[in-house]
Amino acid sequence: MLAIAHLGHRYPKAPSAALVDVSLQAGRGKVLGLLGPNGAGKTTLISHLAGLLALQHGEIMIDGEPLSAVRAKTPTRIAVAPQEYAFYPMLSVTENLACFAGAGRLQGAKRQERIAACLAFAQLERFADTRAEQLSGGLKRRLNLAIALLPEPELMLFDEPTVGVDPQSRAFVLDAIKTLATQGAAVIYTSHYMEEIEAIADDVVILDQGRVLRAGSLDDLLAQDAMVMTLAADGIAPEALMQLLSRFGTAQALGDRMRLELNAAPAAVLAALDAAGALVRYAEFGRGNLEQLFMSLTHRSLRD
């Protein structure tokens, strides 16, 4: 549905470009996870899709039609649920929904129907008359989500929609977003929480310093680390452990754990450790995780 090709953008007076030659695709019925450290260009990318920034380089197509033309005709085909609580705190939940429904050109019975449907989807019926400023963090996130769904968009962008919420609300929001994709929408989801992306994304794009570092299906990306073993062992000195592991591949210390890119069978590593009298406390093999991939790609350096 969405195809971005060679997108570039530089803010006025900025020393470097916010986006450089970014290409990605998002399809209906799928969740695209967008990962990147602070300053990676995620917000700039979302601002383009939300129609808040003019195109400088490259193209953004929706079903083969330029984004600007689609937005001019039917801006509500694309919805953005921003990171902030983008609603009016002094208005009640229903009043907020009515306001944004009106802004999205919904009228009459259709408007009432959509407000009721979104209230139900976000399970906010009990709080319909509560002022938004009195809602908890989790309920505010759900209201943010409900407002985004009002015009029944085909492409939805969720910018870190679970920041500051309790685990139950986070699970609810993730389920809800996954449901939207299952129902046929194209979803772009950004988050700093890797486990969230792993939980709901079908495809992943990793951005850093305005460039795409890696893009592909989640399974393919994680399979790239299939021959990596992560382990922690007691009863053996770190230097001795490093020396032992080096016989089976390239070893690297990651805090209190070791990362080993294997050139042998994992069983041989475990047997050698056992023979050396080490007690294996933690071992993981067969599938990398997104956090490891992300950290190795972005080189662990602080960005703020």
Partner 1 sequence: MLAALIKKELLALARDPQGLAALFVMPVIFIVIMSLALKDYYSPPQRSLRYAVDAHDTGKLAQSLMRSWQQQHGAPDALPADWQQQLREGQLKYVLVLQPGLSDELALPSLPTTARIRLLAEPGLDANLFNSLQAELSGTAGELKARTALASTDAPPPPANASMQSLIQPERFGIHGPRPSAVQQNVPAWLVFGMFFVIASLSGLVVEERHSGALSRLRSLGVPRSVQLASKAIPYLGVNAVQAALMLAVGVWLMPRLGGDALSLAGIHWGALLTTLFAIGLAAVGMALALACAVRTHAQAAAIGPIANVLMAAVGGIMVPKFVMPMSMQRLAEWSPMNWGLEALLDVLLRGGNIASTLPHVLRLGGFAVLMFAIALLLFQRPSR
Q: Rule CB under 8 A: which residues touch partner 1?
A: 11, 43, 47, 50-53, 71, 75-76, 78-80, 82-91, 95, 98-105, 147, 151
In the bound complex, what is the minimum distance in angstroms from residue 212's beta carbon to partner 1? 21
127 or 248, CB closer to partner 1?
Answer: 127
**Segment holding 23, helix H or strand E:** strand 19-26
In the bound complex, what is the minimum distance in angstroms from residue 65's beta carbon to partner 1? 16
95 or 284, CB closer to partner 1?
Answer: 95
75-108 b/e (C-beta count within 10 Å ≥ 16 → b): eebbbbbbbebebeeeebbbbbbbebbeebebee
In the bound complex, what is the minimum distance in angstroms from residue 261's beta carbon to partner 1? 41
In the bound complex, what is the minimum distance in angstroms from residue 59's beta carbon to partner 1? 19
| CA–CA separation, 229 and 242 (whole Å) | 13
Dihedral, CA atoms, 109, 111, 113, 117, nearest 10 degrees? 180
- First vs last C-alpha separation in the chain: 34
CA distances (Å), origin 214, targets 50, 211, 217, 287: 23, 9, 10, 17
Report the alpha-carbon angle 77-81-222, nearest 5.
95
User: Strands 186-190 and 155-159, how do they pair?
Assistant: parallel
66 or 277, CB closer to partner 1?
Answer: 66
3-state helix, strand, coil in the chain (%, to 5): 40, 30, 35
87 or 189, CB closer to partner 1?
Answer: 87
Beta-bridge partner residues of 252: 259
81 or 173, CB closer to partner 1?
Answer: 81
- How many of the other CB atoms lie within 10 Å of CB of 212? 20
In the bound complex, what is the minimum distance in angstroms from residue 298's beta carbon to partner 1? 23
In the bound complex, what is the minimum distance in angstroms from residue 144's beta carbon to partner 1? 9
In the bound complex, what is the minimum distance in angstroms from residue 80's beta carbon to partner 1? 5
In the bound complex, what is the minimum distance in angstroms from residue 49's beta carbon to partner 1? 8
Backbone phi and psi for residue 159, each to the nearest 5 degrees, phi listed first = -100, 100
| Residue 115 amino acid letter | I
51 or 249, CB closer to partner 1?
Answer: 51
140 or 259, CB closer to partner 1?
Answer: 140
